[in-house]
Amino acid sequence: MENSAYIALSRQSSLSNELNIVANNIANANTTGFKREGMVFQEYLSKPKHERQQFSFVQGAGLARDLSDGSLQSTGNSFDLGLSGEGYFVVDTPQGQRYTRNGRFQLNADGNLTTSQGHQVLSGGSPINIPQDQGRINVSKDGSISTDDGEIGKVDIVKFDDPRELSKAAGGLYL
């Protein structure tokens, strides 16, 4: 195959990957806690056999996740929490602890605070249980949850030295 065909094929392959990423960004634009991604490209120069025969190829070098804050909106649900700045909520899944920026929480039948997928939100490494007959529920800015009868717990929020090293998992979670 001609070298020019290899060059064109390398670019088309990279563009195809970029199109898949853009489609995923569009599909998840309204997903709470979703972080947009973009393709990072790099140029690969072939070693010339002759002085004038150097070829430039395009390679996908990886993904860049946009970690900027989204807008916070009031939902009317007292269990919906939002993060401003760094940090991730810690949830317990069958695969172990995972991290999320999606703070759309609810109570399950046992009174445990969970994600919409049913993963328990953690406080000190344990599930947060909110008894139904405790009166008004308050959540402070630092994530402390209390009722009229006293404090229940504090939502675990963790920060990472480099959040770009987190791997995507299913359901808007990271590991």
Rounded Cα distance between 88 and 101, Å, is 5
More confident residue, 41 or 152: 152
- Rounded to two decimals, the pTM is 0.69
Does residue 75 register a pLDDT over 80?
A: yes
Burial level of 21, CB count in 10 A (0-12/13-18/19+)? middle
| Per-residue model confidence (pLDDT) at position 155 | 94
Q: Is the pLDDT of residue 48 over 70?
A: no
pLDDT beyond 90 at 158: yes
pLDDT tens for residues 100-120? 988 899 999 999 999 999 999
Q: At 131, is the pLDDT very low, low, confident or very high (cuts 50, 70, 90)?
A: confident
Average pLDDT over residues 66-81: 80
Where does the pLDDT of residue 97 fall: very low under 50, low under 70, confident under 90, or very high at 90 and above?
A: very high
pLDDT, tens only, 32-45: 767 788 887 777 77
Instruction: Quote the CA–CA distance of 35 and 65 in Å, as a whole number.
Output: 6
Is 80 exceeded by the pLDDT of residue 51? no
Is the confidence at residue 96, as pLDDT, over 90? Answer: yes
Alpha-carbon distances of 173 from 83, 92, 97, 116, rounded to whole Å:
15, 11, 10, 12
Q: Of the ranges 10-19, 58-67, 121-130, 144-153, which one carries the lowest mean pLDDT score?
A: 58-67
Confidence check: pLDDT of 126 > 80: yes
